């Protein structure tokens, strides 16, 4: 499918049954070859409304069966055509179930999608020469180069700065629908400029790569938090917030990728079905403690493997979750977190 160019990347699998266009355009998949576990992909085509970024940003796409026809009233084209237009290499008609079992057993690993006329030994050498995901700062490569504004829907109530480390389009939209004017800023935006004119709130976005390699936001996070500015982080943003307060992160064997991951909200004693896309996680401890970060407490836990899925600062207005509460295309169990963030800004403004 798609381009005939050789594509290199880290091979991961995604368990979503729908939403392949959102997967294709999620900046967090930069540098990865994504295997879809659902066996038929492409049946409802693609459109311009469901994109999370203007173009696909993953390295390659792997499916069991690519639908030969697409049918949906919103469809504007087919999957193969879309991949070709955007220079994305894909492969179909392979046993994605066997590939997924291999990744679950051996862990995410470097791989390639290549035409069959490529010499296997030479290709393997090139794969082994590719960098490991550990230590890679990929966020700056997908961040906006200039600030831009997403206006509030209706009356403007708050001004939110959104750090773009690979932000999905739905996150600023969720905030705008709640009366926030959102200024999306580059990953390398001047910290002094942020601290000199504090916003009503700071949103720290998702993104690709190793959080340990992204240190630019730490000073802004700590500076605004200590000034009482509410902060909300998701995915990579969650990891960056935790690291700013002293926590450490580590590489998961094969990551969490899909729209059906159960997470327990410890405060509400409820289970949320969540959308996830990350290869690293925050290191947890005993009870609600986060090692080396005494100011943080555990609020959400992954029911698959017990990893940290959410934290809250014990004194400051700071919350973060490992998953994607904007959850395009779904599920929408966790959208309340945007209301929680707005509530923190309301509390601060009313003082």
CATH of the domain at 265: 3.40.50.880
Does 326 qualify as catalytic in the annotation?
Answer: yes
146 and 171 together in one domain: yes
186 and 308 together in one domain: yes
- 136-145 per-position pLDDT tens digit: 888 888 999 9
Domain boundary residue among 87, 102, 129?
Answer: 129
200 and 340 together in one domain: yes
In a domain, 261, yes or no: yes
**Among residues 235, 238, 272, 300, which one is catalytic?**
235
Does 332 qualify as catalytic in the annotation?
Answer: no
In a domain, 134, yes or no: no
In a domain, 121, yes or no: yes
For the chain, give the secondary structure using H, E and C.
CEECCCEEEEEEEECCCCCHHHHHCCHHHECEEEEECCCEECCCCECCCCCCCCCCCECEEECCEECCCCCCCCCCECHHHHHHHCCCEEECCCCHHHHHHHHHHHCCEEEEECCCCCCHHHHHHHHHHCCCCCCCCCHHHHCCCCCEEECCCCCCCEEEEEECCCCCCHHHHHHHCCCEEEEEECCCCCHHHHHHCCCCEEEECCCCCCHHHCCCCHHHHHHHHHCCCCEEEECHHHHHHHHHCCCCEEEEEEEEEEEEEEEEECCCCEEEEEEEEEEEEECCCCCCECCCCCCEEEEEEECCCCCEEEEEECCCCEEEECCCCCCCCCCCCCCHHHHHHHHHHHHHHCC
**Among residues 10, 22, 272, 326, which one is catalytic?**
326
Does 324 qualify as catalytic in the annotation?
Answer: yes
Number of domains into which the chain is organized: 2
In a domain, 269, yes or no: yes
Domain residues for 222? 139-349
In a domain, 61, yes or no: yes
**Among residues 238, 256, 300, 324, which one is catalytic?**
324
Domain boundary residue among 89, 106, 129?
Answer: 129
125 and 177 together in one domain: no
Computed over every residue of the chain, the mean pLDDT equals: 95
The enclosing domain of 95 has a CATH number of 3.50.30.20
Total-model pTM = 0.95
- 191-249 per-position pLDDT tens digit: 888 988 999 999 999 999 999 988 878 889 999 999 999 999 999 999 999 999 999 99
């Amino acid at each position: 499918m798609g381009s005939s160019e050789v594509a290199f990347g880290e091979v991961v699998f995604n368990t979503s049954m729908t939403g392949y266009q959102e997967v294709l355009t999620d900046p967090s998949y930069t540098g990865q070859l994504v295997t879809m576990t659902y066996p038929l992909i492409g049946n409802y085509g693609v459109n311009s409304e469901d994109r999370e970024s203007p173009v696909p940003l993953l390295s390659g796409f792997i499916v069991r069966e690519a639908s030969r026809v697409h049918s949906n009233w919103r469809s504007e084209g087919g999957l193969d055509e879309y991949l070709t237009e955007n220079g994305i290499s894909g492969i179909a008609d392979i046993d994605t179930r066997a590939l997924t079992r291999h990744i679950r057993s051996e862990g995410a690993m470097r791989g390639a999608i290549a035409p069959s006329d490529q010499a296997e030994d030479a290709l393997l050498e090139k794969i082994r020469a590719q960098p490991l995901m550990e230590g890679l700062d990929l966020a700056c490569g997908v961040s906006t180069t200039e600030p831009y504004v997403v206006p509030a829907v209706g009356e403007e109530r708050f001004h939110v700065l959104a750090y773009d480390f690979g932000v999905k389009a739905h996150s600023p939209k969720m905030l705008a629908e709640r009366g926030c004017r959102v200024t999306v800023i580059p990953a390398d935006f001047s910290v002094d400029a942020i601290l000199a004119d504090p916003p009503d709130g700071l949103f720290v976005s998702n993104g690709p790569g190793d959080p340990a390699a992204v240190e630019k936001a730490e000073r802004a996070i700590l500076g605004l938090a200590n000034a009482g500015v509410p902060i909300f982080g998701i995915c990579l943003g969650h990891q960056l917030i935790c690291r700013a307060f002293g926590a450490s992160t580590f590489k998961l064997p094969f990551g969490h990728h899909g729209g059906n991951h159960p997470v327990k909200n410890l405060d509400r004693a409820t289970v949320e079905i969540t959308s996830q896309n990350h290869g690293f996680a925050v290191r947890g401890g005993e009870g609600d403690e986060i090692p080396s970060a005494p100011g943080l407490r555990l609020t959400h836990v992954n029911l698959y493997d017990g990893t940290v899925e959410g934290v809250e600062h014990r004194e400051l207005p700071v919350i973060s979750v490992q998953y994607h509460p904007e959850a395009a295309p779904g599920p929408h169990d966790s959208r309340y977190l945007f209301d929680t963030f707005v509530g923190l800004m309301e509390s601060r403004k009313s003082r």
